């Protein structure tokens, strides 16, 4: 059974796709695996809103924001270095 939800961008169409706020790039899949599919990282959208990643309503998170939202420590070297230089950001 699927749940029918309105698009989180336009609120008009039915959401038929999941947009990952923090990218599913290969390096991110290696570092974070199943965590990329956790609720805070998912935005349910319709195909019209998702077809253009330039849509300002689609959220795009940095690694720091992703980790903060999930309450985890960064795992990439670059994110760890940023955390050391700017703790709590």
Q: Which of 14-28, 43-57, 61-75 has the lowest mean pLDDT?
A: 43-57
The number of distinct structural domains making up the chain is 1
- Three-state SS string across 4-52, please? CCECCCCCCCECCEEEECCCCCHHHHHHHHHHHHCHHHEEEECHHHHCC
With respect to residue 57, please indicate whether it lies within any of the assigned structural domains. yes
Q: Domain range for residue 37? A: 17-85
Is the pLDDT at 9 greater than 70, yes or no? yes
pTM for this model (two decimals): 0.81
Within-domain flag for 77: yes
Residue 2 lies in a domain: no
Q: What is the mean pLDDT of residues 32-57?
A: 91
59 in any annotated domain: yes
Q: 73-82 long-range contacts, Cβ below 8 Å, gap at least 24?
A: 75/31, 75/32, 76/27, 76/31
In a domain, 28, yes or no: yes
């Amino acid at each position: 059974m699927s749940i029918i939800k309105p698009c989180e961008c336009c609120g008009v169409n039915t959401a038929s796709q999941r947009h990952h706020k923090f990218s599913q790039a290969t390096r991110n899949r290696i570092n974070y695996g199943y965590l990329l599919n956790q609720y805070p990282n998912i935005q349910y959208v319709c195909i019209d809103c998702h077809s253009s990643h330039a849509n300002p309503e689609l959220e795009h998170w940095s690694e720091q924001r992703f980790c903060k939202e999930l309450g985890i420590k960064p795992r990439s070297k670059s994110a760890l270095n940023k955390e050391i230089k700017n703790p709590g950001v």
